[in-house]
Structure 1
Amino acid sequence: MTVALRTTLSSDERDMIGKLNAKLHKLQPRDRLNEAYFEGEQRLKQIGIAVPPELRVFELVVNWNRMYVGEIARRQKIKSIMVPGGKKKRSKALQEGFDANNLSSEIGLLNTETMIFGRCFGTVGTNDEDAGHPRIAIESPTQMSCLIDRGRRRMDAAFRQYRTEEGQRVGTLLLPDRTIQVVAGRGGWEIDEVGDDTGVDDHGLGRVPVVLFLNRRRLSKWTGTSEMADLIPLVDAAARALTNLQVALETHSVPQKWVLGLSKGDFVDKNGQPIPVWQAYYTSIWANQKSPKEVEVGQFSASDLKNFHDTTNHYAALASSVTGLPFRFFGQNTANPAAEGAIRADESRLISNTEDKNEAQGVGIGWLMSLYERFRTGEWPAAGLAMKVEWRNPATPTKAEEADFIQKLNGGTPVLSREGSWDEMGWDEARKDRERGYFEQEASDPVLDRLTRNLNVDNANADDPASLG
Structure 2
Amino acid sequence: MAFDLSPEQWLNRLKRRHEAELPALRQLDDYYEGLQPLSYMHPELLKELDKRIRKVVVNWPRLIVDAVEERIDVEGFRRDSDSEADKGLWEMWQANDLDEASQQAHVDAMVMRRSFITVGANEDDKELPLITVESPLQMHVDIDPRTRKVRAALRHWCDDEAALDGQVREQYATLLLPDETIHYEFAQGWAEVDRDEHGLGVVPVVPLVNRPRLMYPLGISELADIVPISDAACKIATDMMVAAEFHAIPRRWVFGADKEDFQDADGNPLSTWSQLMGRLWANEKGPQEIAAGQFPESDLANFHNTLNSLARLASSLSGLPPHYLGYSTENPASADGIRSSEARLVKRAERKERPWGGSWERAMRLAERIRDGKWNEKSRSLETIWRDASTPTEAAKADAVVKKVTAKIIDDEQAWEDLGYTSTQRERMRKRKKAAESAFNDAMAGNVAGLVGPKPPLDGGQDELAAAGGPQPAGVNGGAAAGR
- Is TM (by shorter chain) over 0.5? yes
**Is 1:159 aligned to 2:160, yes or no?**
no
Verify the 8 A CA contact 2:252 2:280 in the aligned structure 1.
no
**Of residues 37, 47, 59 in structure 1, which corresponds to 2:55?**
59
How many angstroms apart in 2 are the aligned matches of 1:435 and 1:161? Answer: 47
**Is 1:331 aligned to 2:323, yes or no?**
no
More displaced stretch, 396-405 vs 329-338: 329-338
Give the partner amino acid of 2:191.
Answer: E
**Of residues 425, 445, 451 in structure 2, which corresponds to 1:431?**
425
Q: What is the aligned residue count?
A: 445
Shift of residue 74, structure 1, vs aligned partner: 0.4
**Is 1:316 aligned to 2:317, yes or no?**
no
Shift of residue 88, structure 1, vs aligned partner: 6.1
How many angstroms apart in 2 are the aligned matches of 1:70 and 1:285? Answer: 46
When the two chains are superposed, the root-mean-square deviation of aligned CA atoms in Å is: 3.3
**Is 1:262 aligned to 2:257, yes or no?**
yes
How many angstroms apart in 2 are the aligned matches of 1:306 and 1:172? Answer: 56
Shift of residue 79, structure 1, vs aligned partner: 2.8
What is the match of residue 225 of structure 1? 220
Structure with larger Rg: 2
TM-score normalised to structure 1 length: 0.86
Shift of residue 53, structure 1, vs aligned partner: 4.8
2:409 aligned counterpart, secondary structure: coil
Give the partner amino acid of 1:58.
Answer: R
What is the match of residue 18 of structure 1? 12
How many angstroms apart in 2 are the aligned matches of 1:101 and 1:278? Answer: 66
Quick one: structure 1 residues 67 and 153, their matched pair in 2 at CA, closer, same or farther if it must change by over 3 Å? same
Q: Which has the higher contact order (CA 8 A, sep 6+)?
A: 1
**Is 1:355 aligned to 2:350, yes or no?**
yes
After TM superposition, the structure 1 = structure 2 runs for residues 229-378 of structure 1, keeping only pairs within 5 Å, are 229-268=224-263, 274=269, 281=276, 293-333=288-328, 338-378=333-373
**Of residues 408, 411, 414 in structure 2, which corresponds to 1:414?**
408
Shift of residue 222, structure 1, vs aligned partner: 2.9
How many angstroms apart in 2 are the aligned matches of 1:291 and 1:163? Answer: 68
How many angstroms apart in 1 are the aligned matches of 2:37 and 2:215? Answer: 34
Structure 2 residues without counterparts, runs of 5 or longer: 163-168, 457-469, 472-484
Aligned identity (percent) is: 34
Verify the 8 A CA contact 1:267 1:274 in the aligned structure 2.
yes
Verify the 8 A CA contact 1:363 1:386 in the aligned structure 2.
no
**Is 1:168 aligned to 2:150, yes or no?**
no
Give the partner amino acid of 2:192.
Answer: I
1:170 aligned counterpart, secondary structure: strand
Verify the 8 A CA contact 1:79 1:426 in the aligned structure 2.
no
2:6 aligned counterpart, secondary structure: helix
How many angstroms apart in 1 are the aligned matches of 2:89 and 2:339? Answer: 33
How many angstroms apart in 2 are the aligned matches of 1:339 and 1:418? Answer: 33
What is the match of residue 190 of structure 2? 189
How many angstroms apart in 1 are the aligned matches of 2:274 and 2:447? Answer: 93
How many angstroms apart in 2 are the aligned matches of 1:455 and 1:383? Answer: 47
**Of residues 374, 381, 404 in structure 2, which corresponds to 1:379?**
374
Verify the 8 A CA contact 2:85 2:423 in the aligned structure 1.
no
Shift of residue 382, structure 1, vs aligned partner: 2.1
**Is 1:36 aligned to 2:30, yes or no?**
yes
Verify the 8 A CA contact 2:79 2:379 in the aligned structure 1.
no
What is the match of residue 100 of structure 2? 105
Shift of residue 408, structure 1, vs aligned partner: 1.3
Quick one: structure 1 residues 278 and 113, their matched pair in 2 at CA, closer, same or farther if it must change by over 3 Å? farther
Structure 1 residues without counterparts, runs of 5 or longer: 1-9, 193-198
- Once the two structures are superposed, residues 397-421 of structure 1 have per-residue CA deviations (whole angstroms, 9 ceiling, x without a partner) of 221111111111112x322222211
What is the match of residue 391 of structure 1? 386
Quick one: structure 1 residues 56 and 435, their matched pair in 2 at CA, closer, same or farther if it must change by over 3 Å? farther
Quick one: structure 1 residues 341 and 382, their matched pair in 2 at CA, closer, same or farther if it must change by over 3 Å? farther
More displaced stretch, 334-343 vs 234-243: 334-343
Quick one: structure 1 residues 417 and 88, their matched pair in 2 at CA, closer, same or farther if it must change by over 3 Å? closer
Give the partner amino acid of 1:203.
Answer: H
How many angstroms apart in 1 are the aligned matches of 2:137 and 2:172? Answer: 14
What is the match of residue 127 of structure 1? 122
Shift of residue 342, structure 1, vs aligned partner: 2.5
What is the match of residue 179 of structure 1? 181
Quick one: structure 1 residues 48 and 285, their matched pair in 2 at CA, closer, same or farther if it must change by over 3 Å? closer
Verify the 8 A CA contact 2:251 2:280 in the aligned structure 1.
no
Shift of residue 92, structure 1, vs aligned partner: 1.2
Verify the 8 A CA contact 2:79 2:378 in the aligned structure 1.
no
Shift of residue 185, structure 1, vs aligned partner: 1.4
**Of residues 64, 69, 87 in structure 1, which corresponds to 2:65?**
69
Give the partner amino acid of 2:448.
Answer: N
**Of residues 78, 83, 99 in structure 2, which corresponds to 1:82?**
78
Verify the 8 A CA contact 1:119 1:141 in the aligned structure 2.
yes
TM-score normalised to structure 2 length: 0.83
Verify the 8 A CA contact 2:40 2:231 in the aligned structure 1.
no
How many angstroms apart in 2 are the aligned matches of 1:334 and 1:250? Answer: 27
